[in-house]
């Protein structure tokens, strides 16, 4: 099966009350861990590539890895550009075989966000590719995505209808309290997503697929493992999984997870290196790391997203 867009996936997810996992990929072991979990559970999948991942691994290697995953699994897989920050980057990914792109102009003024999103949508649709846009700004710091918490803002439901109509985007990422990275909420606080905003958006855009970024839940056993084996992560708190489950039963059709994969992989490698200081064959520590990613993704598919058996 060739790569698919997210169109059919989202329609079925919306009507079925579940969400599709969008997992960030940077290398072969990550692609294999994710796709093996999805294959075993017969789950549809979005593999996403950030600007930083593309810089790290190169467009060609990532495309070829995803093509290998398609061949090995036979699953419906969409290949998505995560946080495209310019028309040129989106165009390059569309020309290079991606089936979905995100144009993230959420930090720009509304009119500017609309103008650039519309331009990307026109080019993407002419080429059979779908577009995710963003309204509202998530906090968090990663390689290529940096927003201070004082510059973040919730999505204004009163803007969404006009934004979608004027841009023609196919899905919309909104800000309801999630954020990028492992340090989303202060330890000791009670994280609470703004379901009132999600409900209001859903009412204004019936049937339209909504996306949640920054949706890692930062499992504490992984943070503890990292610290046990020589790491030094201060209190890191993620999005409670029951709230993600609730969102996926509503209009949220795509849930983005990257940090949890990083934690799973790092915890596994740290443990291996600590317990086997004499080993130096990368296959020996990357095999359990790949398995740790697979376990984590299996859990997300079954217990959080609810998309098992939906391929």
Q: Which is nearer to Zn ion, 202 or 215 (CB)?
A: 215
Q: Is 270 in the site for ligand G3H (CB under 6 A)?
A: no
Interface with ligand G3H, residue 152, by CB under 6 A: no
Under the criterion CB under 6 A, does residue 145 sit at the interface with ligand G3H? yes
Cβ 256 to ligand 13P shortest distance, Å: 3
Binding mask 16-35 for ligand G3H (x = CB under 6 A): --------x-----------
In whole angstroms, what is the distance from residue 98 CA to residue 77 CA?
11
Active site residue 82: yes
From the list 8, 82, 151, 170, the catalytic residue is 82
- Nearest 5°: the CA angle 28, 5, 261 is 35
Q: What residues make contact with ligand 13P under the rule CB under 6 A? A: 24, 82-83, 180-181, 213-216, 256-260
Q: Which stretch binds Zn ion (CB under 5 A): 13-21, 121-129, 210-218, 266-274?
A: 210-218
CB of 298 to ligand 13P, least distance (A): 17
CA distance 64 to 183: 33
Give 300's contacts (C-beta < 8 A, 6+ positions apart). Answer: 21, 257, 260
Q: CB–CB of 133/38 below 8 Å?
A: no
For residue 170, state whether it binds ligand G3H (rule: CB under 6 A). no
Identify which of residues 64 and 146 has a Cβ nearer to ligand G3H in the complex: 146
From residue 109, alpha-carbon distances to 112, 135, 136, 139, 280 in Å are 5, 10, 10, 17, 51
Closer of 24 and 99 to Zn ion (Cβ)? 24
Min separation Cβ 281 and ligand 13P, Å: 30
Structure tokens belonging to residue 27: 């290398």
Q: Is 144 in the site for ligand G3H (CB under 6 A)?
A: yes
Find how far residue 20's CA is from the centre of its chain: 9
Nearer to ligand 13P, 209 or 214 (CB): 214
- Residue closer to ligand 13P, measured from CB, 184 or 310: 184
Axis-axis angle for helices 28-41, 282-299 (nearest 10): 40
Q: Based on the number of CB atoms within 10 Å of its own CB, is 232 exposed (0-12), middle (13-18) or buried (19 or more)? A: exposed
With CB under 5 A as the contact rule, the residue among 51, 80, 213, 270 that binds Zn ion is 213
Residue 257 touches which member of ligand 13P, Zn ion, ligand G3H, none, C-beta under 5-8 Å by kind? ligand 13P
Q: Interface mask (CB under 6 A) for ligand G3H, residues 220-259, using x and -? A: --------------------------------------x-
Closest to ligand G3H by CB, 143 or 165: 143
Binding interface with Zn ion (CB under 5 A) = 213
Binding interface with ligand G3H (CB under 6 A) = 24, 50, 52-53, 82-83, 142-145, 180, 258
- Catalytic residue numbers read 82
């Amino acid at each position: 099966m060739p790569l698919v867009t997210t169109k059919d996936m989202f329609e079925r997810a919306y009507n079925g009350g579940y969400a599709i996992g969008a997992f960030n990929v940077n290398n072969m072991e990550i692609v294999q861990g994710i796709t093996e979990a999805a294959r075993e559970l017969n789950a549809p999948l979005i593999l996403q590539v950030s600007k930083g991942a593309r810089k790290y691994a190169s467009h060609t290697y990532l495309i070829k890895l995803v093509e290998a995953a398609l061949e090995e699994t036979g699953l419906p897989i969409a290949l998505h550009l995560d946080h495209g920050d310019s028309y040129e980057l989106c165009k390059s990914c569309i020309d290079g075989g991606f089936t979905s792109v995100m144009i993230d102009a959420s930090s720009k003024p509304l009119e500017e966000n609309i103008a650039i999103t519309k331009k990307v949508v026109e080019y993407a649709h002419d080429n059979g590719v779908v577009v995710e846009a963003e309204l509202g700004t998530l906090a968090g710091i990663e390689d290529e995505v940096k927003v201070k918490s004082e510059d973040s803002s919730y999505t204004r439901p009163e803007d969404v209808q006009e934004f979608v109509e004027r841009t023609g985007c196919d899905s919309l990422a909104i800000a309801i309290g999630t954020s990028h990275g492992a340090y989303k909420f202060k330890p000791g606080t009670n994280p609470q997503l703004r379901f009132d905003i999600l409900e209001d958006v859903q009412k204004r855009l019936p049937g339209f697929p909504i996306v949640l970024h920054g949706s890692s839940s930062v499992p504490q056993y992984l943070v503890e493992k990292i610290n046990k084996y020589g790491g030094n992560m201060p209190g890191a708190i993620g999005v409670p999984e029951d709230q993600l489950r609730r969102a996926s039963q509503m209009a949220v059709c795509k849930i983005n997870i990257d940090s949890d994969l990083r934690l799973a992989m790092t915890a596994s490698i740290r443990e291996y290196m600590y317990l086997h200081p004499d080993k130096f064959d990368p296959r020996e520590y990357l095999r359990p790391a790949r398995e740790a990613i697979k376990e984590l993704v299996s859990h997300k598919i079954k217990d959080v997203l609810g998309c098992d058996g939906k391929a």
